């Protein structure tokens, strides 16, 4: 912790993070484990390691524990797609059907259950709609509409089912949109479609593209769509929240489908990673697209991604139809792959204008603060992510320890 003072953090206040996580979450058994990495100017100023990665076998968490990061996959896939935008292979205002002809005749749901009554969209779905979740697509787990139900029936989001990315697109193209593209924000399989676009435009499987364009250059050695053979002992168990603050095993670390390559390479939620690997990804972003000589994106591309792209400059409280949320959304818009703070006061927590972030279904999270040059990664394995307000709490604790703000 000797570096904490030199990077503007109070050592004593950073130590509150460990006590808070231990006393409120890990010791009472509300979380199986907790790993929190906080960095400034690309250097780690604090790390918390608490609990067990595999309580079933009494295996303690380690610095290199491998976690399911679920929707923290989305920013990775979005960065890959934006690298293709930089090369002129695709444009943000391209109609998606130009690259995915199956989407040409998508209609908007009006009534019915297979066959559906549909109306034509006001305008075609664009690539930008996929990146900012205004596409009209949805997720089956939202349990909200007939379209959600159709997703569940077809098991569209099943990574370990009977269809690959091609099959996913074929099934998705048979279903109606929930709304006309650009009309609302709805958390969805949009980023899985981005993954298919990346795969199709590159002419290579998505996992190979991510390896070549992101993981290898950034030396993210433990990130991929499954846990490699011989590394199973580093994999964390995943739990569901049970009544009374208890844990119920959801995915055994030693019997998990993640120990083998999946059928569906999910650009929206399929990756496993470590805190150290994801911190390298976050550091690349806070640096404007570069880390240790590896240039992934140009600075202006990163700034474009971290701008609010919601129509009319609205925030998520005004535009969202989704029952699923990673955080309270006042003062928060959505960029090209992650949420973006544009009015810090409305969020009611310490944060910076221009800060961007996202999280995963198992309560993992990250944030990038370009103003303060701060990056943070939190790892645990508890479903659903809405169980506890831990992400907001960590932001408050971290910024309460920052003594020399750049504001």
Helix 190-202 and helix 165-172: axis angle, to 10°? 130
Q: How far is CA 107 from CA 131, 190, 201, in A?
A: 20, 16, 25
Residue 362 has pLDDT above 80, yes or no: yes
Q: What is the reported pLDDT for 324?
A: 53
The answer, yes or no, to whether residue 4 has pLDDT greater than 70, is no
Q: 6 pLDDT exceeds 70?
A: no
The confidence score (pLDDT) of residue 1 equals 36
The residue among 347, 350, 348, 349 whose CA lies nearest residue 403 is 350
pLDDT of residue 114: 86
Q: Which residues lie closer than 8 Å to 88 by C-beta, 6 or more apart?
A: none
d(CA 136, CA 186): 7
Percent of the chain with pLDDT over 90: 93
Token code pair at residue 135: 């596409």
pLDDT, tens digit (0-9, with 9 covering 90-100), for 141-182: 887 889 999 999 999 999 999 999 999 999 999 999 999 999
CA atoms of 183 and 191, how far apart (whole Å): 18
User: CB–CB of 331/351 below 8 Å?
Assistant: no
Give pLDDT, residue 329: 85
Residue 282: per-residue pLDDT:
99
CB atoms < 10 A from the CB of 309, how many? 21
* Strand partners of residue 235: 66
DSSP string, 92-135: TTSBHHHH-GGGTT--EEEEESSSEEEE--SS--BHHHHHHT-S
In angstroms, rounded to a whole number, what is the distance separating the alpha carbons of residues 407 and 403? 11
**Mean pLDDT score, 377-386:** 97
* 374 in Cβ contact with 366 (< 8 Å): no
Which residues have a Cβ under 8 Å from the Cβ of 303 and sit 6 or more positions away? Answer: 288
Query: Using 50, 70 and 90 to split pLDDT, how confident is the model at 233?
Result: very high
Q: If you count them, how many residues does the chain have?
A: 407
Query: What is the rounded average pLDDT for all residues in the chain?
Result: 95
CB within 8 Å of 128: residues ≥ 6 apart: 92, 93, 134, 309, 336
pLDDT computed for residue 37 by the predictor: 98
Burial class (CB in 10 A: 0-12, 13-18, 19+), 71: buried
Whole-prediction pTM value? 0.97
Sort strands 43-54 and 356-359 into parallel, antiparallel or unpaired: unpaired
Rounded CA separation 64/277 (Å): 9
Question: Do the beta carbons of residue 326 and residue 358 sit within 8 Å?
Answer: yes
pLDDT band of 234, cuts 50, 70, 90: very high
Q: Evaluate if residue 2 carries a pLDDT over 50.
A: no
Q: What percent of the chain shows pLDDT beyond 70?
A: 97
- Residue 218 and residue 73: Cα distance in Å, rounded? 15
Per-residue pLDDT, averaged over 9-23, amounts to: 97
pLDDT greater than 80 at residue 55: yes
Q: Which residue has the tokens 């993992």?
A: 364
Kindly state the helix (H) or strand (E) to which residue 367 belongs, with its residue range.
Answer: strand 365-369
Look at residue 323 in the predicted model and tell me its pLDDT.
58
**Which 3 state secondary structure label does DSSP give 146?**
helix
Distance CA 94, CA 108 (A): 20
Residue 34 bridge partners (DSSP): 50
Q: What is the mean pLDDT of residues 97-110?
A: 97
Q: Quick one: average pLDDT of 68-79?
A: 98
Q: Which residues of 145-168 are buried (b: 16+ CB within 10 A; e: fewer)?
A: eebbebbeebebbbbbeebbbeeb
Over the stretch 284-340, which tens digit does the pLDDT of each residue have?
A: 999 999 999 999 999 999 999 999 999 999 999 999 987 555 446 899 999 999 999
């Amino acid at each position: 912790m000797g570096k904490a003072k030199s990077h503007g953090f109070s050592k004593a206040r950073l130590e509150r993070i460990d006590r808070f996580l231990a006393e409120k979450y890990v010791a009472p058994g509300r979380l199986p484990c907790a790993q929190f990495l906080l960095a400034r100017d690309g250097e780690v100023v604090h790390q918390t390691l608490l609990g067990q990665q595999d309580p079933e076998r009494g295996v303690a968490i380690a610095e290199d524990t491998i976690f399911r990061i679920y929707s923290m996959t989305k920013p990775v896939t979005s960065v890959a797609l934006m690298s293709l935008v930089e090369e002129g292979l695709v444009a943000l205002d391209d109609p998606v059907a130009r690259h995915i002809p199956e989407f040409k005749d998508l209609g908007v749901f009006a009534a019915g259950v297979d066959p559906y009554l549909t109306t034509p969209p006001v305008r075609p779905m664009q690539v930008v709609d996929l990146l900012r979740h205004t596409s009209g697509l949805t997720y089956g787990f939202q349990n909200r509409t007939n379209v959600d139900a159709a997703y569940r029936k077809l098991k569209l989001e099943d990574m370990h089912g009977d269809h690959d990315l091609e099959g996913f697109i074929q099934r998705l193209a048979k279903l109606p949109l929930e709304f006309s593209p650009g009309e609302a924000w709805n958390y969805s399989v949009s980023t899985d479609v981005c993954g298919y676009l990346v795969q199709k435009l590159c002419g290579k499987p998505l996992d190979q593209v991510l390896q070549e364009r992101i993981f290898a250059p950034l030396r993210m050695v433990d990130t991929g769509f499954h846990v490699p053979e011989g590394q199973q002992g580093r994999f964390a168990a995943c739990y569901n929240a049970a009544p009374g603050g208890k844990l119920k095993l959801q995915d055994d670390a030693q019997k998990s489908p993640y120990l083998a390559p999946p059928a569906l390479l999910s650009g929206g939620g399929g990756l496993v990673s470590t805190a150290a690997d994801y911190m390298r990804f976050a550091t690349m972003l806070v640096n404007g697209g570069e880390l240790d000589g590896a240039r992934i994106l140009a600075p202006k591309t990163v700034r474009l991604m971290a701008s609010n792209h919601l129509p009319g400059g609205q925030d998520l409280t005004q535009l969202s139809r989704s029952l699923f949320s990673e955080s309270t959304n006042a003062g928060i818009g959505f960029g090209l792959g992650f949420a973006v703070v544009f009015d810090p006061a409305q969020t009611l927590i310490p944060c910076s204008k221009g800060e961007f972030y996202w999280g995963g279904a198992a309560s993992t999270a990250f944030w990038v603060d370009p103003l303060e040059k701060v990056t943070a990664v939190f790892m645990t394995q508890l479903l659903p992510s809405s169980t506890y307000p831990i992400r907001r709490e960590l932001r408050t604790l971290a910024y309460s320890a920052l003594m020399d703000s750049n504001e």
